[in-house]
Amino acid sequence: MKVTQLDCLCVILLHLLHTAGSERFEVLGPTDLIVAVAGDDIVLPCYLKPSISAEDMTVDWLNLDFKDDRVFRYQNQRIIRDDQIPSYIGRTSLFEEELWRGNTSLKLTRVQGTDEGHYKCLIQSKSWYDDFTIQVLVEAVGSKPVVSIEGHREGGMGLLCESEGWHPQPELVWLDSKGVHLSAGPPETHRDVKGFYTVKQHVIVQETNTNRFTCRVQQSRINEKMETEVHLPSELFYTTPWRMTFIVLCCLGAITVIGLALAIYCILNKKDEIRKEKDDLWEKNHYLKESFYDITVQREILTSQLDFVNTNWSPDVETIRRHAVNVILDPDTAHCNLILSEDGKQVRHGELNQILSDNVNRFSNWSSVLGNVGFSGKVYYEVKVEEKTEWTLGVVIQSINRNESFRPIPNKGAWTVELKNGEYTAHADSPVTFTLREEPLKVGVFVDYEKGQVSFFNVEARSHIYSFTGCTFTKKLYPFFNPGGSDSVSLVICPVDATD
């Protein structure tokens, strides 16, 4: 049979049409948007229809919010890392074992805020291409708001609330005890390199019948909110220590003037009366000086503790409870009057001396016992003191003299707080005696070794009791317990649950 040129041309055209048809494909993906939780790994589905091999094709993943660089590229059967967006480096990959059947899905690990956007899956062969677009939303719930006291401001007391790690950008509001919004300063917002938001806002509050204020951070798109309530003692709203000193000085001046007038009057009358009035005036002046000294000492204590709170050295209770450690009593250090539980979690004062083995580590004059492990970082533990009328808690260095009879102080390597005769005493180098509005049922002890501070908290009331600041630690610290001898109730080391 004779083959003509027309026959050859038809065969070539049919071959080209068949070849072109075999190269055509569609790029498909999900119709719904993808919601990703920050920190998780996600898969952006993308595949070919029909299910032909993509091993010899070019696979591009693009974030349409970025104009030039790529999220990921696969070409010539290898990964191309040139022009990749820096934030995606080390977090993107294909399922290469699935390419032969057209699966070009992208795996994205450790999702962050900047990953939100529209993604295009673009597939190209030698003679055809197609693409599909997927929308990704990122959700991240930030930290519990942290409220700090900034001190006296014109019109009241200044507070600052701050929360971080949110996406999308949240809203921060201040509320009073009745849930009414407070007028606050403009919110300050910062977005970090991973796309997560930090918000903070200042507010000036005035004294109310409750002095309770709430900072709330909320994000409506993800239907999440977190809040922190703060209670300000009424004493913070009272006249400042400087004004108290000024008033006392004015009173002293007025009394002195009155005294001089009385002295002049007595001189004009009788010498004996002058002498008597002079003696009385001297006694009054001496008493006022002593009173003034006491006020000065109390002012310094109040100022130091207020400065401690205002400089935000003391984190909120929920934060410090994350540093909880398991404290067990060391029987080799226990005084012979003390009775320890078998699990090493309880100690009480016994009526009789026990016959114990000689041990140089044992307390001989203090009815005390130490924890079995020392530490040099951030440490927190809680001790139940409910129904006890006497106790001493804190931390000491291991080498503290255990044969001395006087109270432990920082100069001797001890930082402790004591309850005795209904009064609380912080055993600083100059003891500080104070009272508490609420008697603690459970005392939390927090140590920040690097910052040089030892703090005590009323766990149930979430309130600050006292803090030693500006300390210098050079040796490991050990938990210190003294159950006192006025009752038989045990001190109990409690497990710490950060979600209480």
The region of weakest confidence among 98-107, 273-282, 491-500 is 273-282
Cβ pair 350, 338 in contact under 8 A: yes
Residue 205 CB neighbour total at 10 angstroms: 21
Q: What is the CATH number of the domain that holds 387?
A: 2.60.120.920
In our burial notation (b when 16+ CB lie closer than 10 A, e otherwise), range 441-469 reads ebbbbbbbbeeebbbbbbbebeebbbbbb
- Can the peptide bond before residue 168 be classed as cis, meaning omega within 30 degrees of 0? yes
Residues 391 and 482 in one domain: yes
**pLDDT reported for residue 495:** 93
Residue 13 lies in a domain: no
Residues 375 and 270 in one domain: no
Q: What percentage of the chain reaches a pLDDT higher than 70?
A: 82
Question: Residue 292 above 70 pLDDT?
Answer: no
Residues 244 and 354 in one domain: no
314/92: higher pLDDT: 92
Mean pLDDT of the chain: 85
Q: What is the CATH number of the domain that holds 100?
A: 2.60.40.10
Q: Which DSSP string corresponds to 154-210?
A: TTEEEEEEEEEEEBS--EEEEEETTSPBPP-PPPEEEE-TTS-EEEEEEEEE---SS
Q: What are the pLDDT digits (tens) for 136-147?
A: 999 999 999 999
Cβ pair 29, 132 in contact under 8 A: yes
Q: For the residues 462-476, what does the mean pLDDT come to?
A: 91
Q: For the residues 206-231, what does the mean pLDDT come to?
A: 93
Residues 162 and 176 in one domain: yes
Residue 15 lies in a domain: no
Task: Give the chain's count of helices (H) and strands (E).
Answer: 4, 31
Q: For the residues 74-91, what does the mean pLDDT come to?
A: 92
Q: What are the pLDDT digits (tens) for 427-468?
A: 988 888 888 888 999 999 999 999 999 999 999 988 899 999
Residue 2 lies in a domain: no
Q: What are the pLDDT digits (tens) for 115-133?
A: 999 999 999 999 999 999 9
Residues 326 and 282 in one domain: no
Structure tokens at 211: 């002095």
End residue of a domain, out of 236, 263, 285: 236
Residues 225 and 299 in one domain: no
Q: How far is 47 from 26, CA to CA, in rounded Å?
A: 8
Cβ pair 348, 319 in contact under 8 A: no
Residues 44 and 178 in one domain: no
Cβ pair 147, 316 in contact under 8 A: yes
- What values do phi and psi take at 314, rounded to 5? -105, 110
Residue 500 lies in a domain: no
How deeply is 52 buried, as exposed, middle or buried, from its count of CB atoms within 10 A (0-12, 13-18, 19+)? middle
Structure tokens at 93: 């990959």
Q: How far is 409 from 233, CA to CA, in rounded Å?
A: 28
Domain that holds residue 84: 23-138
Q: How far is 408 from 193, CA to CA, in rounded Å?
A: 49
Residue 4 lies in a domain: no
Residues 365 and 433 in one domain: yes
End residue of a domain, out of 255, 280, 307: 307
Residues 231 and 252 in one domain: no
Residues 32 and 107 in one domain: yes
Q: For the residues 487-496, what does the mean pLDDT come to?
A: 93
Counting the structural domains of the chain, the total is: 4
End residue of a domain, out of 213, 236, 259: 236
Q: What is the pTM of this model?
A: 0.46
Structure tokens at 465: 């009791």
Question: Residue 79 above 90 pLDDT?
Answer: yes
Q: What are the pLDDT digits (tens) for 148-193?
A: 998 888 878 999 999 999 999 999 999 999 999 999 889 999 999 9
* 195 φ/ψ sector (left φ>0, alpha ψ -120 to 50, else beta): left
Place of tokens 């055509």: 24
Residues 89 and 153 in one domain: no
Local structure of residue 348 (DSSP, 8 states): E
Residues 205 and 258 in one domain: no
Three-state DSSP string of 107-162 = EECCCCHHHCEEEEEEEECCCCEEEEEEEEEEEECCCCCEEEEEEEECCEEEEEEE
